[in-house]
Chain A
Amino acid sequence: MSAHGPIPILRVGSNLLTTIHIDLHDTVAEAFQQDVLLSIERTGATGLVIDITGLDEVDTYVARILADTGRMAKLMGAQTVVVGMRPEVAATLIRMGYLMEGVETALDVDEGLALLIDRQNKKRRGT
């Protein structure tokens, strides 16, 4: 286990919110992925907001973990939005050619939740 303990995952309505504030590496990353998926399973959440405002550095490894987590959540019926990416992080990822395709993004937690709720409402009305 990491020295920081697990990354907290909060439930907000039918969505989950998690704020990453520590380095996502090795065991931490794996535990994080596992926790997120278990929470989706347990709560039946239809959306997931991953807030990375606290990350000053995101390398392609971490970016891939985030993208993978999003894809896994999607398989379980939860839409993922990554929010709060810092401009220098975005510029670095693009420079490295990592576009994070397939991952939804939003400016901050508010926007991310709004986006998910908007989607869910549309879906409910549609079906």
Chain B
Amino acid sequence: MRKTKCKRVLSLLLAVLMGMGTFVALPLSSAAAESASGTASGGTGVTSEELKKMLGAKSYSEYSKYQPSIRQAQVNAGKEMETIVIDATTNLFDPYVPSETSTDAVDELIRKKMCGFDFTSAYPSNAVPLDGRAYKISELGGVSDVLFTPDAGAISWEFEVPDEGILSADGRNYLGGYLYVIEIDYYAINLADNVSTVERALSIDGEAPFSEARSLSFSKNWVYGYRDKIEGTVNEYTDPVYGYRLSQSGAEFFADKGDARYFYGKDTFYRYEQDKGGNDLRYTAYQRPKWQTYTCTDADGFYQGYFSFYLKTGKHTISLEGLRENLAIKAIRLIPVQYRQISTYDEYVAKHAGLVDEANGAGCVTVMQAEYPTFVSDTSVYPANDRSSAITQPSTPASQLFNTMGASSYNTVGQWAGYSFRVEKSGWYEIDMRYKQDILDGLFVSRTLKLSGGEYGDTPTVPFKEAYETRFDYSKSWQIQPLNNGDPEHPFKFYFEAGTTYTLYLEVGLGTLSSSIQQVENALQVINDSYLEITKLTGANPDKYRDYGFMKIMPKTIRNLAKQADELDAVIEQFKALSGTTGSQIATLEQVSVLIKRMVKKESNIAENLSNLKSYIGTLGTWLNTCKQQSLLFDYVIVSSDGVAEERANANFFESAWFEIRSFFVSFFVDYNSMGVKEDAETSGSIDVWLAYGRDQSLIWRDLIDTGFTPETNIAVKLKLVAAGTLLPSVLAGQGPEVYIGLSSADTINYAIRGAIEPVNERNGYTGTYGYDLKLTERGENDYTRMYYIGEDIAAITDTQNPDYIDPSNLTGASKTYETKDANGNTVTKTKYRVKDDSIVFNYANTVPISLYGQTFGVPETTNFPMMFYRMDVLANLGVDAPETWDDLMECIPDFQANNQQVGVTYASALTTLIYQKGGTQWLYDENDYRIDPETGERRSYYDEEYAGAQIGYGTDIALDAFQWVCRLYTDYSFPVTFDAANRFRTGEMPIIITDYCSMYNTLTVFATEIRGLWSFTKLPGWKNETTGEINSCSVATVTATVMLYGGTEAQKDLGWIFMMWQAAADAQANYGNRMVALVGPAAKYATANTQALENLSWTSSEIASLKQQFKNLASIPNYPGSYIITRYVQFAFLAAYNDGEDPAEALRSYLTTIDKELTRKREEFELSTLKPGQTPEQARAEKAAGE
């Protein structure tokens, strides 16, 4: 009886559901089938057409599908073919196509100080501008007539491919075109010490031949400036050749094995400078630009060997578009592919077979310590202190010595370290390494081995094909192995000539795994596309009981999806064959493959498993990331003629035990706070600095302080990592630090107004050597604040030979004299000069939230603000451009809704953004308060310093309109109020999300690797002023600050101030940001508030362009007393409108009196002037005057 009742209810429910299902499905499927035709008004950003073209470009594997036969024909022909040489300055096709995003790079850079290289002094005068932006330079680095190209805009050259008259492989007809390898002679210009690599997009005849050509990276050349400690001072710019040996027999230029720390320079021994505790100090890395040859290869490491380009006979143009960094180009060469064939190892051996071999049995050994590379690809390749083994060279229990290279700092494809060496006798050598690879469990990591010098020429060259696949196997302990490609019994042998300087480059590559990883990446892309296609029909929550008819509507998509399971299976097989195990790496792939098979087996399974597929897409993305991280730690490299059988990889039990015991006891006596304090000077004092970030952040700051701040200033810093809530009780107890890093703006003001934080805006530290004068509240013509550095010796600093050269025109303001004691104890008078310096530059808006009534309570440290993230692929599919204005955005919404897509923005950020974009303000009588004067009818400033922030500004028409408009987004357009941004963005359900740029970028980078390259972020949609037509797209920024706590002596505060200035300057900020990325990964982007530092962080130039655009367009909300009450009641008002359908304006207005009452109460607490309801400042003043 009961059972039947249940059944009845169930069937009724089902019927209702099915009815609803069909009802909903009808308009939906028709909408999905239709191609959306709506286009928004054209903007200056990337249009959907361009996007489509970009996303539609084929991959290199597709591009090169038909190449083998042509290559064969070219090789077989045996005919001399012409190399096409394009001179960079004479073969220009169209001198320069300026792009919208180009910066005023050249002008700005010429003005900047040049970093001490000989080309710089001649540079400005011999640079002839070509069409404003590209420059012809008559001489650069010893080469004449070269072309300087900035980091944006495209430059094209023309050339002609001759008819070589070669028969095709089948011998029937002549080839219509030939395969060429493209080489470029370049010089990575060193203008700013920018760490990012040079990136260019190559196109032929105006189009990228394949997608990989859109991003070619040219490496720079960096050297560590080791400081000599043994004799004399090092000239960082001379060319040291390093090397030393283990064996006793040796030529005089090798150092002794006994102290493996010293290495050979031309005539001096160099090593890292040490502090007084015997710890190695971090070197400074310098760029050493030189003429190099770049051969077009894959920047991602998926394709080994060089790209070959198929070019038909006739005229062509080739263009390089700047994506990142400046580049000087001498020539572009198109070399017929047969001249750039990479030989196999056997061919290599055969080629050198007849040469003299004196080394065999002679025991020739050259050792290179990993921590002393000759060159590195970028500053993020840096040495490390390893304490995991007692026999890592060198090791002491007490101090931190650099003794290894690698791990987290050396794991991204394209990074390399180069080691120069010479051998004593000509002959065959093997190269052994002591290394540890304990990250990729069950797999191996790869390096691409390159050589330069001697027969290999100046440019790092792969000696033979197998060198791409140099393998380092997994083990928990240290290993010593000769370089090999999977078989340590048969290592690579290299032929080296005596006396020639070779350089060994170990470049991070994907090796044997490259094709598998690429296959997975491609598969992931297809799976994700299919997922998106399916959700367009079903929505993200499909009804599993409904028959969607996938096979009828999207047979191709389903078939494609099915194919991916086979692809993954193939990869699994490859992996099994390679590693011989079935580790966790393979399990992930298997899971995905099984799921796909299940889904395509039965149509009804598709809808049911869709959410599973979504989560697997994420897993697969993470898998890819792990596999691409090729982490390797190594201690030394030995070039030896007879192997290194006697060397041990691991310490024995007694060595380890003794080392650990000593380490333990010595740890009681080491003063970790004074690390970096040099022996030759007394410390100038010591300050406490606290920060409340993570351990990684604290370690990096510690390191930067030890190697940068303390050696420079001799101020010891006690850096403490504290929990976020620690500051308040410690201030209360009078135990606070001098400086605190990373205090939120609200807390800063809360503490400041209660007298716990020092105002810094008028702090001029004229004591000691370092003095800073930071004007923080000045709203200058450039809308930023400046820093003044006080130099000592005017003659020295204006000497152009000085690396710290300062342009005399930057000396501004009055000089100051002060008295000090010289070495003999006599009082001398010295003069200091105020110098304009651009190392600390903030947007004015960033100082607003930490300022109150003319005082600024700290230096902005980080800033985060909403930007617009958008899915390029989804928008391109819909034919929609990234919206420029809110109106554009609203126009897209019907298109989105037709595809079950939404726009993600929280009401709070939409509201503040809109109010400030419309020219409104949150606070009455503050700097942003412009309103129409009822008497004159004109818009005027209502700014009143005394009463600023005395009342809420949400009662104004602008604010009420904005609030109503925002509420409508959620009530009428059903924007979701709560959502998981990253997930919905990843699946494409939210193609547009407006959120804080840095956190979102970081999340997407690690979390949503499968959509890498498919999304971008740009400035916010703006509000178009209907009368003027101007678009205001400002974004409301939040700030954290570095603050100085109240209390302590003036002298201590001066030291603290010096630290704050060092910490906020571009150098430290950029170093910190880049270190974070190197240590934690690309998801650790740092949201620095210093716009100067921003440029040196590892953003691409298009990202930088967007960021700079938004940086210029910032607003922020001052923290007047009582600000907490506003967010609260605005939320209440919003929820009343959303939940209960109340009129938004009414709801908000009903709270205004309550808010004002609380503001008044709070202001009375701090004895600030208050306003009665409805009173204006003038009336209040009049009343006050009358009262007196």
A is bound by B = no
